[in-house]
Amino acid sequence: MVYPPRRVKAVTFAAEKRGVSKGMLGGIVMMVIAAVWFFVALAAGIIFFYPPVLCALCGECRRRAVLILRLSSSRLCRSGGAKAGK
């Protein structure tokens, strides 16, 4: 009997996905981690290519979070804000 192949749940980029899902604060924390990782390795004479990529990805997530906050606040201002009694 031939069994179908098992599906294995991918854990690639699991930490990055958790950081991205945390929004702006997660993006800033991951950018700090990437900067520390890059400069500590650079001081040791090693160059890693992933920390700048991680920093750019988290910067994009932080930019999106700021954009969402601005859009939601502008919609709230246009609608007259929260009304008492509702």
Tell me what percent of the chain is helix, strand and coil, each rounded to the nearest 5.
65, 0, 35
The answer to whether residue 84 is domain-embedded is no
The answer to whether residue 61 is domain-embedded is yes
The number of distinct structural domains making up the chain is: 1
Mean pLDDT (the chain) is 74
The answer to whether residue 29 is domain-embedded is yes
pLDDT tens sequence across 8-29: 666 666 766 676 666 677 777 8
The answer to whether residue 19 is domain-embedded is yes
Low-confidence ranges of the chain (pLDDT < 70): 1, 3, 8-13, 15-17, 19-23, 74-86
The answer to whether residue 68 is domain-embedded is yes
> Cα(8)–Cα(55) distance, rounded to whole angstroms?
29
The answer to whether residue 37 is domain-embedded is yes
**Structural domain boundaries, residue 31:** 14-76
